[in-house]
Amino acid sequence: MWPRLPPRAREEGSRAALIAAGSTIIVVGLILWIILTSEAWPAVQKQFFSWFHFKESFPDVLRGFWLDVKMFIVAEILILSFALVLAMIRSLRGPAFFPLRAIVVTYIDIIRGIPMLLLILLLGFGVPALQLQGVPTSRLFWGVAALVISYSAYTAEVYRAGIESVHESQRMSARSIGLTQVQALRFVIVPQAIRNVIPALLNGFVSLQKDVALVFVLGVREGLREADIYNARTFNYTSYVVAAVLFLLISVPVARFTDWYTERDRRRRQAMST
Partner 1 sequence: MSSPKLEIKDVSKAFDEKVVLENVDLEVNLHDVVCLIGSSGSGKSTLLKCINLLVPIDGGDIVLDGQAITDAGVNPNQVRQRMGIVFQAFNLFPHMKVIDNITLGPRKVHGVGQEEAEETARTLLGQFGLLDKADEYPDRLSGGQQQRVAIVRALAHEPELMLLDEVTSALDPELIAEVLNVIRDLKASGMTMLIATHEMGFARDVADQVCFLDAGRILEQAPPDQLFSEPEQQRTRQFLQRIVEAGRL
Partner 2 sequence: GGDDEDSAADTTAAPEETTTTAAPEETTTTAAPEETTTTEAVQACAVENLPLASAGTLTVATGEPVFPPWMGVGDDFFDVPESGTGYEGALVYALAAEMGFSDDQVVFVRTGFDEAIAPGPKDWDFNIQQYSITATRAEVVDFSDPYYTTKQSLVALPGSPVIGATTLADLADTRLGAAIGTTSFDFIEEVIQPNEPASVYDDNVDAIAALVAGQLDGILVDLPTAYFMTAVQIPEQGAEGVIVAQFAIEAAGADDYGMLFAKGNELVPCVNEALGVLAGGGTLQALEDEWLAQGGDVATITE
The residues binding partner 1 (CB under 8 A) are: 1-12, 168-170, 172-180, 183, 187-188, 191-192, 195, 268-271, 273-274
Counting beta carbons within 10 angstroms of the beta carbon of residue 219, is it exposed (0 to 12), middle (13 to 18) or buried (19 or more)?
Answer: exposed
Only segment of 11-19, 70-78, 171-179, 219-227 that touches partner 2 (CB under 8 A)? 219-227
Output the smallest distance, CB 160 to partner 1, in A: 18
Of residues 76, 72, 106, 77, the one with CA closest to residue 89: 106
Contacts of residue 196, Cβ cutoff 8 Å, sequence gap at least 6: 161, 162, 165, 166
**Binding partner of residue 94 among its own copies, partner 2, partner 1, none, CB under 5 to 8 Å per kind?**
its own copies
Residues 20 to 39 in contact with its own copies, rule: CB under 8 A: 20-22, 24-25, 34-35, 38-39
Among residues 126, 136, 191, 219, the one that binds its own copies under rule CB under 8 A:
126
**One-letter-per-residue 3-state SS of 220-259:** CCCHHHHHHHHHHHHCCCHHHHHHHHHHHHHHHHHHHHHH
Output the smallest distance, CB 4 to partner 1, in A: 5
Examine residue 43 and tell whether it contacts its own copies (CB under 8 A): yes
Residues of this chain that bind partner 2 (CB under 8 A): 40, 42-44, 46-47, 52, 121, 124-126, 128-129, 131, 137-139, 216-221, 225, 228-229, 231-237
